[in-house]
Amino acid sequence: MELNPSDKNAETINSILEKELKIDAEIRNLWSESIHCRDQRQTFKKTNEIYDFIIVGAGTAGCVLARELIYNVPNVTILVLEAGPPDAQVNDKIRLPCTFPSVKQRMPSTIEPTKEVINKEMPYPRGKIIGGCSAVNNMVYMRGQKSDYDSWAAQGPEYSIWDYDRCLEAFKAVENNARVNPDEEFKKYHGFNGLLHVQDSPNDTYEMTKDIIKAANNLGIPCNNDFNGVRQNGVGKHQHTMKDGKRISLADGYLTDALKKVEKYPLLKPLSPPYGGFSNGVAKVVAVNVKTLSHMLSIIWDEEKEDENIAIGVKYFCNGGIQNAFIAPKGEVIICGGTVNSAQVLMLSGIGPKNNLKACNIKVRKELPVGRNLLDHPICYMTGNVSIPNGTDVSRIHSWCSGIKLGINYKGNVEGKIPSKEDFLDERPDFQTYVLNCPKSVGHLELSSSNPFIQPKLFLNFYEKPEDMYRMISSLKLLRELLKQPPLSTVWGVKELGFNDEFGKWCSVGEEMSDEDWERYIREKGFVTKHIFSSSSFHMCGTVKMAPESQGGCVNHRLQVYGTKNLRVVDASIFPTIPNGNINAPVAMVAWRASKLIEEDYRAKI
């Protein structure tokens, strides 16, 4: 029997689609192996650039979101735009992260308020690559404390969806922990079926690491074998976001899995005899389309309903030209560009502080404090010289990874004194060795231009609040004591590194330091980046705060941008407060929770 013309048409189109899906699958495989630039794919050009969801940024959040949405929301097509290149895991190397400089800040001294001190500028790296910062980070797996998330939930009744129990459910859903023989207590706090791989250090513990633990025990710091369990305080080895000893970015786990889902909807079944052929209609490709080297420039708004700020798509720069992608009627634009760039693209699209936007000649669509509430964990190192005894394994200690094998968590002292035994036993510590985990100082970022390729200015404002400075002083004093402890001082001959020669005369080996000396050390020496010192743990968050609008919020509890439609932000920028620990896992957790909210809202529109 002859097919009618529309059947024939459908059959032709479907057979083309079939072929393209096959080619597509091959190219996906190549992409997964990172040996082919993903942008060479052709299939999606036929879809006229209309997607159910457009995700901007394939970092920690974007990768989790893409995977969760494609598997859980029925029959959707997703575009992921990533400004950076594909990763290059095939060589076990990733490309250089892009770096933003922070701005030099003058401020009154904490110790001598009549004097002026300077927070020097420093480079601020970010992962501009598939996987985002999770592809360049230090892999320390920490998730913060119960009270962090309960405080998010306490912002209003509707915010209860962010309480610790629900966040813990999400942490567990994302995590795939490879601890050997986990005990029942461990199982309460960890997940074993997610796609974020976590493991204990793959190497044996170095003798020196064991001796640092002993030295910490000498000072009264208890051991802890799970910093994400019931208590965070103590000394112990970190778990890392690794699998079989290799870095696992969120792209490796989540985006790779998202790319595996390629279907056609509706599923076209051959019609049974005597009709033959296919059912009428053309299938839509259900899949995730990733475009690398595609930099989002701004949101496309529905200009016919100007007052409603309805997002209908995005403008992006790719292949040397500006392109548009649009969302389908029930779709959404979801910004996952990270703390700096999510704030930047909102501001470029007219959402942000009036004065800053006007100064950059950008039309204000909705005034919101985007870019305020810039939070971060300041960091300051204390360094020791080691005499290497013959035949030890210390020469094998190398690279950042070894440096962060170990965590010592305690409460800093707000008067700058060495923490006491009670501070070591406090189950809600605020220090992670040299990282101040709950700073009270808050910074901000500003748009410096309407040009999307010019980075915003970052004002970190570290130590603006005196208690931050005093707690950092207290922690450094403790580390100085640690270096003097046996077996570090005896077996390893550890000596505090002198700063008088290389860095100026104000601090000599073994000499007492006044609080003023300490402040200079923290502000000036802690910022010397050509040496190993640093001043940030690169845990920037908070610039598109989730809070009631009256409390300085930019997105509501469902992460929708106030005063707009079809627009959400999902990444570290929405954190109302900074968690008391590293933030990669919390970002993944937020993205997982957000996928549920987006799914609920999408289904409600059906």
Ligand X SMILES: Cc1cc2nc3c(=O)[nH]c(=O)nc-3n(C[C@H](O)[C@H](O)[C@H](O)COP(=O)(O)OP(=O)(O)OC[C@H]3O[C@@H](n4cnc5c(N)ncnc54)[C@H](O)[C@@H]3O)c2cc1C
Q: State yes or no: 341 annotated in a binding site.
A: no
Can you tell me which residue has the tokens 């002083």? 473
Sole window of 15-23, 56-64, 281-289, 322-330 interacting with ligand X (rule: CB under 6 A): 56-64
Q: Based on CB atoms, which residue is closest to ligand X, 431 or 499?
A: 431
What tokens appear for 184 in the block?
A: 């029942």
Beta strand pairing status for 351-352 and 366-367? parallel
Burial of 443 (0-12, 13-18, 19+ CB in 10 A): buried
Can you tell me which residue has the tokens 């992460």? 559
Can you tell me which residue has the tokens 């595996």? 260
Q: For residue 136, state whether it binds ligand X (rule: CB under 6 A).
A: yes
Task: Kindly state the smallest distance separating residue 130's Cβ from ligand X, in Å.
Answer: 7
Sole window of 127-135, 368-376, 476-484, 490-498 interacting with ligand X (rule: CB under 6 A): 127-135
What tokens appear for 238 in the block?
A: 């970190």
Q: State yes or no: 528 annotated in a binding site.
A: no
Q: Is the peptide bond before 97 cis (omega within 30 degrees of 0)?
A: no
Sole window of 105-113, 252-260, 422-430, 582-590 interacting with ligand X (rule: CB under 6 A): 582-590
Sole window of 8-16, 130-138, 187-195, 359-367 interacting with ligand X (rule: CB under 6 A): 130-138
All residues at 6 or more sequence positions from 187 whose CB lies less than 8 Å from its CB, including other chains: none
Q: For residue 177, state whether it binds ligand X (rule: CB under 6 A).
A: no
CA distance 606 to 587: 29
CA distance 492 to 490: 6
Q: Which of 10, 67, 127, 598 binds ligand X (CB under 6 A)?
A: 127
Q: Which of 128, 190, 284, 365 binds ligand X (CB under 6 A)?
A: 128
- DSSP class of 223: B
Query: How big is the site for ligand X, counted in residues (CB under 6 A)?
Result: 39
Sole window of 15-23, 192-200, 483-491, 579-587 interacting with ligand X (rule: CB under 6 A): 579-587
CA distance 28 to 488: 51
- Each residue 61-90 as x (binds ligand X by CB under 6 A) or -, in order, gives x-------------------xxxx------
Task: Kindly state the smallest distance separating residue 3's Cβ from ligand X, in Å.
Answer: 44
Sole window of 45-53, 138-146, 177-185, 423-431 interacting with ligand X (rule: CB under 6 A): 138-146
Backbone angles phi, psi at 54, to 5 degrees: -115, 120
Q: For residue 182, state whether it binds ligand X (rule: CB under 6 A).
A: no
Q: For residue 405, state whether it binds ligand X (rule: CB under 6 A).
A: no
Q: Which of 408, 585, 594, 598 binds ligand X (CB under 6 A)?
A: 585
Q: Which of 133, 235, 242, 325 binds ligand X (CB under 6 A)?
A: 133
Q: For residue 60, state whether it binds ligand X (rule: CB under 6 A).
A: yes
Residues from 497 through 556 that contact ligand X (CB under 6 A)? 538-539
Residues from 308 through 367 that contact ligand X (CB under 6 A)? 336-338, 341, 345
CA distance 97 to 102: 16
All residues at 6 or more sequence positions from 259 whose CB lies less than 8 Å from its CB, including other chains: 28, 31, 32, 287, 288, 290
Q: CB nearest ligand X: which residue?
A: 59
Q: Based on CB atoms, which residue is closest to ligand X, 341 or 474?
A: 341
Task: Kindly state the smallest distance separating residue 35's Cβ from ligand X, in Å.
Answer: 20
CA distance 21 to 447: 42
Q: Is the peptide bond before 329 cis (omega within 30 degrees of 0)?
A: no
Q: Which of 247, 295, 520, 568 binds ligand X (CB under 6 A)?
A: 295
Q: State yes or no: 122 annotated in a binding site.
A: no
CA distance 592 to 596: 7
All residues at 6 or more sequence positions from 500 whose CB lies less than 8 Å from its CB, including other chains: 506, 507, 508, 509
Q: For residue 57, state whether it binds ligand X (rule: CB under 6 A).
A: yes
Q: Which of 139, 170, 483, 567 binds ligand X (CB under 6 A)?
A: 139
Dihedral angle sign, alpha carbons of residues 528, 529, 533, 536: positive
All residues at 6 or more sequence positions from 366 whose CB lies less than 8 Å from its CB, including other chains: 309, 350, 351, 561, 562, 563, 564
Q: State yes or no: 107 annotated in a binding site.
A: no
Contact assessment for residue 20 and residue 28, using Cβ atoms and an 8 Å cutoff:
no
Q: For residue 56, state whether it binds ligand X (rule: CB under 6 A).
A: yes
Task: Kindly state the smallest distance separating residue 277's Cβ from ligand X, in Å.
Answer: 42
Known binding-site residues equal 137-140
Where on the chain is the footprint of ligand X (CB under 6 A)? 56-61, 81-84, 125-129, 132-134, 136-140, 295-296, 336-338, 341, 345, 538-539, 571-572, 582-585, 587
